[in-house]
């Protein structure tokens, strides 16, 4: 049975137009996650203009997988209509998601895909995200040279899909050598320290593939080493990084994983709770349960335009996008 049909038909109806949705975030180590929750809360409020009241309950904390499973159990016991989760594991939630489904609760993962067939995924394709900037880096370097990669949290499902994405692309270029791969846990300070250590060992590298959350730190280390004109490196979508990118004319590019992915997932959830059916089933991805969102791309051609859109925003603010309520409605029959 199609995922959308299964979810729609298996729900326990709330009052006519009144839904409670639990939001689970198992890591609070970045402003990106805070913005993700905030945008989802704002989207929930926006539904009132469409005659539907959406109440969100947030559980956001630094927890391991068992701790986040406890989030889900709390939501089940609270009797929510839907759970939207940014999961810390792709596979560990299968049993608890089955429990939620048995109680008629819709489950949607966002930002990281999950294996459970009792859930669907609404977010970007992280493998494609990484492949886009990896292709840009390889072509910018003319398909040759030495590069390093600075990754996020080892074992996190989104991180592992990104690693898979850039490795596949770089493997297509035999004269492009990945000389080192390290993890900096999506933290700016760790990204800067990792880049300093890398430059001390590999002073003549040509390129850096670094994920958002760490790119600004990596670029600061590159600038401190007076190598900004010699190295091509990927970037990120935060306002503070875009400031220095535009000011210094970096050779950079960034795929965008927008914080609005949870807001998009919330809009999909409300439509499913209303009993609607997706025109195209959520059947993409390695688990066959994904609905992929567009991946914005920033490089030298459009960075000034994107930067201008963020005028007046604080430095930690990330360039974002999400499906509007009307755009989401177009996805349904």
The model's pLDDT over 287-321, given as tens digits with 9 standing for 90+, comes to: 999 999 999 999 999 999 999 999 999 999 999 99
Three-state SS annotation for 181-232? EEECCCCHHHHHHHHHHHHHHCCCCCEEEECCCCHHHHHHHHHHCCCCCCCE
Report the C-alpha gap between 235 and 303 in whole angstroms: 11
* CB crowding 168-206: b at 16 or more within 10 Å, else e: ebbeebeebeeeeebbbbbbbebbbbbbbebbeeeeebb
Across all residues in the chain, what is the average pLDDT?
93
pLDDT in tens, 38-64: 999 999 999 999 999 999 999 999 889
pLDDT at 17: 52
Q: Per residue in 131-179, pLDDT tens? A: 999 999 999 999 999 999 999 999 888 899 999 999 999 999 999 999 9
Q: Is a pLDDT exceeding 70 seen at residue 9?
A: no
The residue with tokens 């049993």 is 95
* Mean pLDDT of the 111-116 span: 96
What is the structure's pLDDT at 15? 46
Residue 22 has pLDDT above 70, yes or no: yes
| Each residue's pLDDT tens digit, 259-288 | 999 999 999 999 999 999 999 999 999 999
pLDDT tens by residue, 285-296:
999 999 999 999
Distance CA 240, CA 317 (A): 8
How far is the C-alpha of 159 from the C-alpha of 174, rounded, in Å? 24
CATH architecture of 126-255: 3-Layer(aba) Sandwich (3.40)
Tokens read off for 45: 């409020």
Q: For residue 310, what are the contacts with CB-CB under 8 A and spacing of at least 6?
A: 239, 242, 317, 319
Give residue 157's pLDDT: 86
Domain with CATH 3.40.50.2300 in the chain: 19-124+258-295+319-330, 126-255
pLDDT tier for residue 11 given thresholds of 50, 70 and 90: very low
Distance CA 68, CA 179 (A): 36
Q: What's 19-124+258-295+319-330's CATH class?
A: alpha beta
């Amino acid at each position: 049975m199609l995922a959308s049909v299964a979810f729609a038909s298996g729900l326990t109806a709330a009052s006519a137009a009144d839904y409670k949705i639990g939001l689970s975030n198992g890591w609070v180590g970045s402003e990106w996650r805070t913005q993700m929750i905030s945008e989802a809360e704002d989207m929930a409020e926006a539904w009132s203009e469409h005659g539907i009241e959406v109440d969100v309950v947030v559980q956001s904390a630094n927890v391991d997988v068992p701790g986040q499973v406890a989030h889900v159990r709390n939501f089940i016991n609270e009797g929510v209509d839907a759970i939207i989760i940014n999961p810390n594991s792709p596979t560990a939630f299968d049993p608890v998601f089955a429990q939620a489904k048995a109680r008629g609760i819709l489950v949607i993962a966002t930002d990281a895909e999950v294996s459970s067939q009792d859930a669907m995924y609404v977010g970007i394709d992280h493998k494609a995200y990484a492949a886009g900037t990896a292709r840009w880096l390889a072509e910018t370097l003319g398909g040759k040279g030495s590069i390093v990669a600075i990754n996020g949290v080892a074992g996190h499902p989104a991180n592992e899909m990104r690693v898979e994405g850039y490795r596949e692309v770089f493997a297509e270029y035999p004269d492009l050598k990945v000389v080192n791969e390290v993890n900096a846990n999506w933290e700016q300070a760790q990204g800067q320290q990792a880049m300093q250590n890398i430059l001390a060992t590999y002073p003549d590298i040509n390129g850096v593939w670094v994920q958002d959350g760490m790119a600004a730190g990596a670029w600061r280390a590159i600038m401190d080493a007076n190598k900004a004109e010699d190295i091509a490196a990927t970037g990120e979508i935060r306002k503070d990084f875009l400031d220095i990118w535009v000011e210094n004319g970096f050779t950079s590019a960034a795929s965008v994983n927008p914080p609005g992915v949870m807001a998009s997932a919330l809009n999909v959830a409300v439509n499913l709770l209303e009993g609607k059916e997706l025109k195209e089933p959520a059947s993409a991805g390695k688990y066959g349960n994904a609905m992929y969102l567009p991946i914005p791309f920033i490089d030298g051609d459009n960075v000034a335009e994107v930067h201008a859109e963020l005028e007046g925003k604080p430095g930690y603010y990330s360039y974002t996008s999400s499906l509007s309520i009307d755009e989401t409605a177009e996805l349904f029959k």
